[in-house]
Amino acid sequence: MVLYRKSFQGLLLRCVTREVGLIALEEVHGGMCKSHINVRSLTQKIICLGVFWPLIATDANDHGKRCDSCQRQASIPHQPPHEMVMPRSWNACHLRKYYV
């Protein structure tokens, strides 16, 4: 017996086990296609292929975090490595000598 789930677009998606889903995920992400796309696009591409399992988004996110090529090509966050220390603020007596 094969189970199907109807998607929002009206497609019938074949429900598969997580193991079969992970094989499909690997094939789309780094197999013959070698697309290395982001999590959202990867999930949508697998759904367009007609495959579904309940943890598809979580598994795609975990797979993207483990992919060495994706981590090397990812954008670097523009945040300082430590908390920034602001210089002491100018009080009124410092500003008075410039504006008097």
pTM: 0.66
3-class SS at 86?
coil
Length of the chain: 100
Decide if 89 is inside a domain. no
Angle (deg, nearest 10), helices 18-30 and 39-48: 110
Q: Is residue 99 part of a domain?
A: no
Average pLDDT over residues 80-86: 62
Considering the domain boundaries, does residue 2 fall inside one? no
Residue 56 lies in a domain: yes
Residue 50 within a domain: yes
Asked whether residue 51 is domain-assigned, the answer is: yes
Residue 58 has pLDDT above 90, yes or no: yes
Domain assignment of residue 83, yes or no: no
For the chain, the farthest-separated pair of C-alpha atoms sits apart, in whole angstroms, at 88
Residue 32 within any structural domain of the chain? yes
Residue 81 has pLDDT above 90, yes or no: no
- How many domains is the chain built from? 1
Strand, helix or coil for residue 15: strand
Backbone dihedral region for residue 50 (phi beyond 0: left; psi -120 to 50: alpha; all else: beta): left
Q: Domain range for residue 50?
A: 10-73
pLDDT digits (tens, 9 = 90+) for 1-27: 889 999 888 889 999 999 999 999 988
